[in-house]
Structure 1
Amino acid sequence: MKTIKLTAISAAVLASSAALAAEPVIVVDDNDAVVYEAEPVAVAYEAEPASYAYDADAGVVSNTTGAIVGGTKGFFSKVVNPASVSAEVGTLGYGANIGWSLNEKTELQAGWAGGDVADLFGGDVDVDDVNYDVDADFSNPYLGVQLRPAGNWFTMGAGIIVPDNDIDVRASAEDGVFTIDDEDYLVGNGETLEGSLEHRNKLAPYATIGFRPNITNNFGLFGELGAAYMGKTDATVRATNPLNAVAVDAAAAAETELEDKDYLEWMPIVKLGATYRF
């Protein structure tokens, strides 16, 4: 009977208010006092569904995609629409280049120069008392950067050339004699030496300084001086009459002299040209 009473009283206490439930409860029955510590009652609340308004600007993926697409369009716009085109002539040949402005002082350039450069310099050259007729077929694609460090007409350039230059030489004996490295080779009248030169470097770094004054808002002129490191040269020289032993010896000596000349290692860059800016 006592157990039933205690159960009923406990149920009543647990159903009371939350404030009373937090306080200890004392129950007295037949002079026996029992203390119960009431557990706090957990009350569940059901939240009303909140309305949600979509914010288009808050979409991270959407915004990132827009930035990527916009940046890609800007990149292709610069590539398709260059800042300038130029025509040039110089020691690397006849050519042209396209420029893209990265900022007011920096321009990226891609170009090509080539052709028969020997025609620009008379078509012959003297090497150690031997006069060679030169036939050159140049191909020099290049990629570089033009800087205007002071923001005026003065420029500095640097880049890489991918040289593919064919240089053919031919020499005829004067009075039947080739003089090479202070030694005379009596080869007889009509003997000739023929050969070719090839630079060893497949990539040639270059540097230039120059000027680029603007004539109008769109047209300008430019000139550049510098050098490209083409590396050592491989020379091949042969006598047109291989049965003439002296001529064969002269060809070997001429081959050595051509490879030893340092001016073939550093290709001078001298160019003039005109530019049209968009």
Structure 2
Amino acid sequence: MKLIKLSAISAAILASTAALAAEPVIVVDSADAVVYEAEPVAVAYQAEPAYAYNADAGIVRNTTGAVVGGTKTFFQTAVNPAAVSAEVGTLGYGANVAWAMNDKTELQAGWAGGDVADLFGGDFDADDVNYDVDADFSNPYLGVQYRPVANWFTMGAGIIVPDNDIDVKANAEGPNFRIDNVDYNASETGTLSGTLEHRNKLAPYGTIGFRPNIGNNWGVFGEIGAAYMGKTDATVRSSNSGQQVTATSVNGTTTVDADVVAKAAEQELEDKDWLEWFPIVKLGATYRF
């Protein structure tokens, strides 16, 4: 009987160990009742969400350090952005995508472009000559938005890759084009038209702005700043190339080739350095995931 009792107790211990979290096992013999209760060893962990919305700062906080490490890969972060925005401003009409680096910093990639000449008046003056402007902009950019005090105030910086076509046409002042204090007969000169191109292939920019929330997902923003586009290369042509043009100055009256007038206008445009520091003004709306 003792052998049977010991065997039964041993079997119960083995069964209890194998079952782990099973129901309590009771072994009974004629003399005693022994209860063995298995201890659970499996512990369930609640995964912390990768992103938590910060209603005060208005951005998505990356709780796992997804861009530089942690449990999420760079690819997973790239295909799960923090926000998308639509914008309109002096750089054009466009949109950007943002990824949260932490609760104060976002990385942005975007594009702005189109015909935006009318946004800044559609014309400008280079000394005494007024020019009409027709622009076709393309401005992809990569930048960082930083919230120094983790609220709606932002500071931005980055790089633009400008590919902007700017066409200009000179408007005569009365019967003449006045260029560098010389009056050239407008009818003899014909139409003066050309193009402008900024020299910088990469244009650094800086902005300050505001990005308040208007709900859990939606927000608005505004920014002002400037991009350094560099000096301007100009090309100007006369529609009456080769024709003689009457030129009047304080030294008297003479005649010059219409191409000389075009060259003088071209030089004046380059000296003007039109929008060497290109103003940035933009407004937009943001949707945060």
Give TM-score scaled by structure 1 length.
Answer: 0.71
Please identify, of 247-256 and 141-150, the stretch whose mean Cα deviation from structure 2 is larger. Answer: 247-256
4+ long deviations beyond 6 Å: none
Separation in 1, partners of 2:232, 2:189: 28
Q: Indicate the SS of the match to 1:264.
A: coil
Separation in 1, partners of 2:206, 2:106: 15
Separation in 2, partners of 1:207, 1:199: 18
Residues 176 and 186 in structure 1, CA contact (< 8 A), matched pair in contact too: yes
Separation in 2, partners of 1:72, 1:255: 58
Q: Indicate the SS of the match to 1:103.
A: coil
* Corresponding residue number in structure 1 for 2:125: 126
Instruction: Report the number of matched residues.
Output: 209
Q: Does 1:203 align with 2:202?
A: yes
Residues 193 and 239 in structure 1, CA contact (< 8 A), matched pair in contact too: yes
Q: Does 1:275 align with 2:286?
A: yes
> Structure 1 residue 263: deviation in Å?
4.3
Q: Indicate the SS of the match to 2:74.
A: helix
Q: Does 1:248 align with 2:259?
A: yes
Letter in 1 for 2:239: T
Q: Does 1:115 align with 2:126?
A: no
Letter in 2 for 1:163: P
Residues 239 and 248 in structure 1, CA contact (< 8 A), matched pair in contact too: yes
Structure 1's 235 and 92: CA in aligned 2 closer, same or farther, altered over 3 A? same
Match of 2:277 among 250, 260, 266: 266
Structure 1's 72 and 166: CA in aligned 2 closer, same or farther, altered over 3 A? farther
Letter in 2 for 1:173: A
Residues 173 and 191 in structure 1, CA contact (< 8 A), matched pair in contact too: no
Q: Indicate the SS of the match to 2:101.
A: strand
Letter in 2 for 1:85: V
Letter in 2 for 1:98: V
> Structure 1 residue 134: deviation in Å?
0.9
Separation in 1, partners of 2:173, 2:93: 33
Please identify, of 243-252 and 218-227, the stretch whose mean Cα deviation from structure 2 is larger. Answer: 243-252
Separation in 2, partners of 1:140, 1:90: 12
Q: Does 1:81 align with 2:92?
A: no
Structure 1's 155 and 78: CA in aligned 2 closer, same or farther, altered over 3 A? same
Structure 1's 99 and 136: CA in aligned 2 closer, same or farther, altered over 3 A? same
> Structure 1 residue 72: deviation in Å?
7.9
> Structure 1 residue 186: deviation in Å?
1.7
Please identify, of 261-270 and 149-158, the stretch whose mean Cα deviation from structure 2 is larger. Answer: 261-270
Residues 172 and 191 in structure 1, CA contact (< 8 A), matched pair in contact too: no
Report the identity percentage: 77
Superposed CA RMSD: 1.8
Separation in 2, partners of 1:130, 1:184: 11
* Corresponding residue number in structure 2 for 1:182: 181
Separation in 2, partners of 1:263, 1:168: 13
Letter in 2 for 1:266: W
Q: Indicate the SS of the match to 1:152.
A: coil
Residues 176 and 191 in structure 1, CA contact (< 8 A), matched pair in contact too: no
> Structure 1 residue 71: deviation in Å?
5.4
Structure with the largest fraction of helix? 1
Q: Indicate the SS of the match to 1:257.
A: helix
Separation in 2, partners of 1:227, 1:139: 16
Letter in 2 for 1:138: F
Alignment of 1:17-32 (within 5 A): none
Alignment of 1:27-46 (within 5 A): none
Letter in 1 for 2:199: R
- Which segments of 5 or more consecutive residues in structure 1 lack a partner in the other structure? 1-69
Separation in 2, partners of 1:98, 1:192: 44
Residues 103 and 150 in structure 2, CA contact (< 8 A), matched pair in contact too: yes
Alignment of 1:43-192 (within 5 A): 73-188=72-187, 191-192=190-191
- Which segments of 5 or more consecutive residues in structure 2 lack a partner in the other structure? 1-68, 246-257
> Structure 1 residue 173: deviation in Å?
2.4
| Structure of larger gyration radius | 1
Separation in 1, partners of 2:274, 2:234: 14
